[in-house]
Structure 1
Amino acid sequence: MTELADPRYRDIDIWDDATALRAMLEGQMAAIAAIAPAVPALANVVAAAVPRLRAGGRLAYAGAGTSIRVAVQDGIELGPTYDWPETRTLYLIAGGERALMLGIEGAEDNAEDGRAQVAASQIGPNDVVIGLAASGRTPFTVAVLEAARAAGALTVGIACNPDAPLCAVADHGVVAETGAEAIAGSTRMKAGTAQKAILNLLSTQIMLRLGHVHRGLMVDMRPQNIKLRARATGMVARLAQVDEAAAQAALEAAGWKIKPAVLVAQGFDIAAADAALRQAQGVLRNVAGARA
């Protein structure tokens, strides 16, 4: 379906600019709406992924073209936003890293490369491997999920066509039926938007379940600049119910880590704060004796 030419748009090249733009915008809105039926499947993915990641597993993204580019955009944000270790984020890219900047013809058809990248990455039982393909049939990505599943990893297929082979070989299939594009086959549009939104939802909910969000705040973000240090100070002040001077002092004592700083501001010493967070598996809400 993602490759079809929708007859409604056959004359889009001669429409006036505003009309064409409105039509394409409507397609983007439809792409988001197409995700709604997949929410239960996404919830199942989160439930299955969190125990493996909590046990030390890695989050791996696999795909070709637009699909892997939006996946890299998603994964690269997890470090600064949630302090997710970059060493625990992998990218299995058809054509290798240079394919992120260049179109590498034929790379998506190389199933053997997909299997080789799984082997080279030593994918194992605690890892979560997310494969994305608008068509749902990209040979490289299908081969990655087949090999990763054989290695014991949790596998997730995200596609924009029903009955996608990618979803059939995965432990969990997630489908957003975005249909034909305004520009036939230009799956960087509706399909790309749907894939990025699905990843936004999925990775955020996983990070939330792992304890990186507290009361709607990114309590594991890395305060690496003036703006973010001010944000961190405000978080600690709000959560610990102290003034900003006390909040900043607690952050400095905690090496600018927000969750232990909240506890320090409430009277914990740094060693006790770190121990309490380990005991609570990093979930601030579960720390005994904390007001947060």
Structure 2
Amino acid sequence: MTDFVKVTEQESHYRNLDKKPVSEILELINSEDQQVPKAVAKAIPQVEKLVVSIVDKMLAGGRLFYLGAGTSGRLGILDASEIPPTYGMPYGLVIGLIAGGEEAIQKAVENAEDSFEQGLADLEKHFVSEKDVVIGIAASGTTPYVIGALKACRSRGITTGSISCNPNSPISEHADFPIEVVVGPEFVTGSTRMKSGTAQKLVLNMISTAVMIQIGRVEDNKMVNMQLSNEKLVDRGTKMVMEELSINDYEKARELLLKWGSVKKAVDSAG
């Protein structure tokens, strides 16, 4: 696109950062960060359309894939990894993939994001199909690994979404449900792990949380299906059972929770 401008790569509004005192650096970063939720709010109608589509697919037995490179890929993996413990969903229903594979989670893998074919190859390892939804994440909106995957998915009738931080980005052309959160130039020029990364994290939080609520993994405002994987969560679950069943005996509620393995099952068993 000849008129495409990478706002994410434009020069920072601030100069001489290396000469500023720490207090001013922190205040300026915070000031910039406050612009992110405002930009996300403008994209809520786009996010809503994607969430509705994901809910329909997951209720019909489909899965959700996140696909990205660098920071974007890591954010997708982070969001996907939180779904089983938080909502008691089986592993493999929300999957995060990153250019360069597992090695790239902790360190950069040279040229990993430059292949138009590798994204689809990674998805095919999980037997992606038209029952699934694939969301490409790329702050710039130009990552070949992501664009190639989305383009191939659409040609196969697989529902696609995208999250980018530039207006009219190329990635949006290949998404059925494009989301563009334009946060402006970064505090450090081109450092998209900052405002752009924050925007992507907020949108991913919105997508996965709204989907989990819609498919019944939350009751009232509580994570009634969370995994009891540590003592903190057992304690939280015990207090939920006490509240839901009007039990004043902590040990009795705890015993009931551990017997059934989740708040929801413990409460339903006493119903």
Common fold: TM-score over 0.5: yes
Note the C-alpha offset of 1:64.
0.3
How many angstroms apart in 2 are the aligned matches of 1:96 and 1:252? Answer: 37
Aligned to 1:63: 68
What does the per-residue CA deviation read over 1:189-245, in whole Å, with 9 as the maximum and x for residues that have no partner? 010110011101111111111111111100110112222112111111212223344
Aligned to 1:105: 110
Name which of structure 1's ranges 223-232 and 169-178 shifts more when overlaid on structure 2: 223-232
How many angstroms apart in 1 are the aligned matches of 2:91 and 2:53? Answer: 21
Out of 187, 190, 193, the position equivalent to 1:185 is: 190
Q: Does 1:30 align with 2:35?
A: yes
In structure 2, the gaps of 5 or more residues are 1-6
Secondary structure at 1:220 match in 2:
coil
RMSD value over aligned CA atoms? 1.4
Q: Percent identity over the alignment?
A: 39
How many angstroms apart in 1 are the aligned matches of 2:96 and 2:155? Answer: 18
Aligned to 1:135: 140
Secondary structure at 2:140 match in 1:
coil
Out of 127, 132, 151, the position equivalent to 1:146 is: 151
Aligned to 1:248: 254
Q: Kindly report which structure 2 residues correspond to 1:1-292, keeping only aligned pairs within 5 A, or say none.
A: 1-6=7-12, 8-243=13-248, 244-254=250-260, 256-266=261-271
Pair 149,241 (structure 1): closer, same or farther in 2 beyond 3 Å: farther
How many angstroms apart in 1 are the aligned matches of 2:221 and 2:121? Answer: 40
What does the per-residue CA deviation read over 1:105-155, in whole Å, with 9 as the maximum and x for residues that have no partner? 211111111122233322112212111000111111111111222233221
Paired residues of 1:157 and 1:167 also in contact (CA < 8 A): yes
Aligned residues: 264
Amino acid at match of 2:175: A
How many angstroms apart in 2 are the aligned matches of 1:230 and 1:140? Answer: 43
What does the per-residue CA deviation read over 1:227-267, in whole Å, with 9 as the maximum and x for residues that have no partner? 2112111111212223344433432442x22112111123x
Q: TM-score scaled to structure 2, two decimals?
A: 0.93
Paired residues of 1:240 and 1:263 also in contact (CA < 8 A): no
Note the C-alpha offset of 1:66.
0.5
Q: TM-score scaled to structure 1, two decimals?
A: 0.86
How many angstroms apart in 2 are the aligned matches of 1:180 and 1:110? Answer: 26
Paired residues of 1:132 and 1:158 also in contact (CA < 8 A): yes
Paired residues of 1:250 and 1:265 also in contact (CA < 8 A): no
Pair 21,249 (structure 1): closer, same or farther in 2 beyond 3 Å: closer
Amino acid at match of 2:10: L
In structure 1, the gaps of 5 or more residues are 267-292
Paired residues of 1:61 and 1:72 also in contact (CA < 8 A): yes
Amino acid at match of 1:233: T
Note the C-alpha offset of 1:22.
0.9
